[in-house]
Amino acid sequence: MAAKERRGLRPGTGRQGAERADNAIACAVSVAIKQGFVVGREVLVGNIPGIVVGYNIAAVGTFLGNSFPLVVRTELGVTKCALKEVSLV
């Protein structure tokens, strides 16, 4: 009888959770792009004009990429934004 192969992870922990988070972030960024929020696009954050400068791929911290997928530069500085906070100009 062969020994069971061990990978050092219990079900539901470790890399599997990280892969789910990565997939959620990729999905949020994809939705943003499909809605027209591409790099270089002028947007409004509320009523403040800005430009999309990138996408938030953070999987840890306060502003996770799946909730705040856009990185926008405004006259007040750079911020991470949710899709419901921005509109196309």
The string of pLDDT tens digits covering residues 17-64 is 678 888 999 999 999 999 999 999 999 999 999 999 999 999 999 999
1 vs 83, more confident: 83
Question: Does residue 8 lie in a domain region?
Answer: no
Burial class, 16, CB count within 10 angstroms (exposed 0-12 / middle 13-18 / buried 19+): exposed
pLDDT of residue 20: 82
Domain membership of residue 9 (yes or no) is: no
Asked if residue 17 lies in contact with residue 59, where contact means CB atoms within 8 angstroms, the answer is no
Question: Residue 3 domain-assigned?
Answer: no
Q: Is residue 10 part of a domain?
A: no
Structure tokens at 31: 């939705």
As for how many domains the chain has, the answer is 1
pLDDT at 5 over 90: no
CA distance 21 to 44: 28
Domain limits for position 83: 15-88
Q: How far is residue 3's CA from residue 23's CA, in Å, rounded to a whole number?
A: 33
